[in-house]
Homo-oligomer: A and B are copies of this chain.
Amino acid sequence: MELKSATALAHPNIAFIKYWGNRDEQLRLPQSGSISMNLASLHTETTVRFSDDLERDTVVVNSQLLVGDPLARVTGFLDRVRSLAGKQIHADVVSSSNFPIGAGIASSASAFAALALAGSAALGLSLNESELSRLARTGSGSASRSIPGGYCEWARGESDLDSFSVSILPQDGWDLSDLIVLLSHSHKKVGSTAGHSSANTSPYQPARIQDAARRLDICRKAILERDFSALAEISEEDSTLMHAVMMTQQPPLFYWEPRSLAIIKAVKEWRASGLPCFATLDAGPNVHVICPTEARDDVYANIHVLVPDSQILVSGVGGPAHLINPTTVEH
């Protein structure tokens, strides 16, 4: 009997320049590049155990056994890992996150990054960072950005071979914080995968993609120069551009809730009054308010006054996905 297992931890990320829309749905090759920051205090920890004893894959996420489409998505991903290793062997996967799933905190990013690393390590593959990022990408696009550490850019690339993420600034390169205002813990009506596949039904998606290189250049430069004001302006612009596409897709996706909009508008006013902060939203109602860590307490206090009933998660910049006590036991 052969037993191989590994445990990996990965952080979710918040995108400043967003990923929305694929040119290849299977390989999750994006229509444009994107840039994000890993979130230190949030993580997914995943253990993958391959064994000849298993007759099928089983996947437990936050103590719940996956069935149906969510299970099929993970087994399809495991097929990819098995194919890389040239092995036919089933797996038990146990994964848990310390933050609410399915509410726009990109749980799939940390989940598939951790799964890519744990799964490949358990089968004895020694993938380098770009190979891991490419693999994670095929499970969830934004997972490719949760493999390297700190501030990451995911290249559009020409093919599967060169569409992966690299760190453009390490996690200790710029001390920013993300205050995540939780406005909903509930699962989204329309998940990101379905939303991506209808991005092109918005008449605005082509213009958004055509303009992406400009936004990426501005954002990358802002990060490398630690220019918060420039990062704030381009990130808010990019977030609005993505949500404008979502709201004009068929069917329309209105991820913004009234309180999301209240925070978006308030943050613009706070910044105009001199408090460094900006708001950005992924595919969900929760608002990420980004600020230099030295302004964190002031920004937190402002948010708390505005939405006193909402939970606020606080995070600094996170590192790369990594293995925890990697083990391979042969019997």
Interface residues of A (CB under 8 A from B): 203-204, 206-208, 210-211, 236-237, 240-241, 244-245, 247-248, 252, 254, 256-259, 261-262, 264-265, 268
In the assembled complex, how far is the CB of residue A101 from the closest CB belonging to chain B, in whole angstroms? 23
CB <8 Å contact, A261 and B264: no
Q: Which residues of B contact A236 (CB under 8 A)?
A: 252
Complex Cα–Cα for A254 and B241 (A): 13
In the assembled complex, how far is the CB of residue A311 from the closest CB belonging to chain B, in whole angstroms? 19
> Across chains A and B, which 5 residue pairs bring their CB atoms closest together, nearest first?
A244-B244, A258-B258, A258-B262, A204-B204, A203-B207
CB <8 Å contact, B203 and A241: yes
CB <8 Å contact, A237 and B241: no
- For A205, the closest partner residue in chain B by CB is B207
A-B contact pairs, 19 of them (CB 8 A): A203-B204, A203-B207, A204-B204, A204-B207, A204-B208, A204-B241, A207-B207, A236-B252, A237-B252, A241-B248, A244-B244, A244-B245, A254-B264, A256-B261, A257-B261, A258-B258, A258-B261, A258-B262, A258-B265
Q: A206-B207, A254-B264, A261-B257 are in contact. Are A244 and B248 (CB under 8 A)?
A: yes
Complex Cα–Cα for A186 and B206 (A): 37
Grouping DSSP codes into helix (H, G, I), strand (E, B) and loop, the A interface class, with mixed when no group exceeds half, is helix
CB <8 Å contact, B248 and A254: no
Q: Which residues of B contact A254 (CB under 8 A)?
A: 261, 264-265, 268
Residue A237 contacts which of B248, B264, B265, B268 (CB distance < 8 angstroms)?
B248
- For A265, the closest partner residue in chain B by CB is B254
Complex Cα–Cα for A262 and B183 (A): 14
Complex Cα–Cα for A24 and B43 (A): 54
In the assembled complex, how far is the CB of residue A274 from the closest CB belonging to chain B, in whole angstroms? 18
Complex Cα–Cα for A257 and B262 (A): 7
Complex Cα–Cα for A49 and B35 (A): 62
In the assembled complex, how far is the CB of residue A188 from the closest CB belonging to chain B, in whole angstroms? 14
Q: A204-B204, A204-B207, A207-B206 are in contact. Are A240 and B252 (CB under 8 A)?
A: yes
Complex Cα–Cα for A32 and B311 (A): 45
- For A210, the closest partner residue in chain B by CB is B203
Q: Which residues of B contact A256 (CB under 8 A)?
A: 261
14 other A-B residue contacts (CB within 8 Å) besides A254-B261, A258-B259: A203-B204, A203-B208, A203-B211, A204-B204, A236-B252, A237-B248, A237-B252, A240-B247, A244-B248, A252-B268, A256-B261, A257-B261, A258-B261, A258-B262
Complex Cα–Cα for A252 and B267 (A): 14
CB <8 Å contact, B258 and A248: no
Q: Which residues of B contact A208 (CB under 8 A)?
A: 203-204
Complex Cα–Cα for A257 and B247 (A): 16
Q: Which residues of B contact A261 (CB under 8 A)?
A: 254, 256-258, 261
- For A244, the closest partner residue in chain B by CB is B244
Complex Cα–Cα for A207 and B211 (A): 13
Complex Cα–Cα for A241 and B250 (A): 12
Complex Cα–Cα for A201 and B300 (A): 33
Complex Cα–Cα for A268 and B210 (A): 31
Q: Which residues of B contact A211 (CB under 8 A)?
A: 203
Q: Which residues of B contact A259 (CB under 8 A)?
A: 258
